[in-house]
Amino acid sequence: MDVHSSKYNCAECGKCFSSKQALAVHWRSHSGEKPFECTVCSKQFMQSAHLVRHSRTHSGEKPYKCLECEMAFSQSGDLTRHMRVHTGDKPYKCSLCDKRFSRSSSLQSHERHVHSNRRPYDCRYCGKRFKSSHHLKHHVYTHTGANPYSCRHCSDCFRHLHHLKAHLLKSHNEGTWFTCHNCQKKFSVKSRLKEHLLCHEGVKPYVCSECLKCFSTASRLRRHQPIHSHVKRFCCGSCGKYFKCKEYVVHHFNRCSVKLGYTNIFAKNL
């Protein structure tokens, strides 16, 4: 492509630009060129501004400060989202039920889990259906017993990637913890930290279809849903009593094991 054309039009998509430099920067979105490289981790970026923002994750620099509290952020977008905690602003509105959210990701999760009943992915072993191929893949591991994520330092293997990352951090001091700026709780993967932050912001996009109770994360909703089922899959390893939820049988076993003299928690998931 000739970026020196006097019209400054992109030959690929036809978009117009006011300068040669702006056109050259835009062209990287088509060519995939990333000329700006981080000197710390070698990650590459299409624009120098993106590299500058990324570099703050290494330096700890947080120039964007909240005027309402003592919080500070490395990116302006993070500050904008944080300010909604103080203002109560919820600019993202569900088109189906008018519920509003402070984050676009929360709206997307709400629409996917509350308003969509499509489950196109079915398990070839038991027929259970899932909304995403990712959830199906990890469900299949419960049938095959596969632990596809192996540690390169030792012989330990894990069913989930975040379990491997947590192992690397705790056992081999490899990787970076993601820390909540509100309560200092640490997470091995960024997605878990993002879910956790919803708890502090009061955002609860996951709604139970049976009782309409709301939850801040999908995992909390999944733990709640067995309450509405008549199936009791969890069995106490001491007395054989069955329970609907894993949390119930663990709590029961802690008391049951004291009576029977056991010290380790054991519960069968049938």
> pLDDT tens digits, residue range 204-233?
777 887 788 888 777 788 788 877 877 777
Give residue 157's pLDDT band: very low, low, confident or very high (50, 70, 90).
Answer: very high
User: Please, what is the average pLDDT of the chain?
Assistant: 80
Which whole number is the average pLDDT over 112-130? 79
What's the confidence (pLDDT) of residue 78? 83
Q: Is the pLDDT of residue 5 over 50?
A: no
Which whole number is the average pLDDT over 128-148? 83
Which whole number is the average pLDDT over 110-115? 73
Q: Is the pLDDT of residue 264 over 70?
A: no
What's the confidence (pLDDT) of residue 270? 43
What's the confidence (pLDDT) of residue 172? 92
C-alpha R_g of the chain: 24
Which whole number is the average pLDDT over 172-193? 85
What's the confidence (pLDDT) of residue 257? 62
Q: Answer with the residue of higher pLDDT: 57 or 145.
A: 145
Give residue 261's pLDDT band: very low, low, confident or very high (50, 70, 90).
Answer: low
Q: Answer with the residue of higher pLDDT: 59 or 47.
A: 47
Tens of pLDDT, residues 59-96: 778 888 888 887 888 888 888 888 887 888 888 888 87
What's the confidence (pLDDT) of residue 267? 45
Which whole number is the average pLDDT over 244-261? 70
Long-range contacts formed by 111-120: CB under 8 A, 24+ apart: 113/205, 113/206, 113/207, 113/218, 113/221, 114/205, 114/206, 114/207, 114/209
Which whole number is the average pLDDT over 8-19? 84
Which whole number is the average pLDDT over 23-31? 85
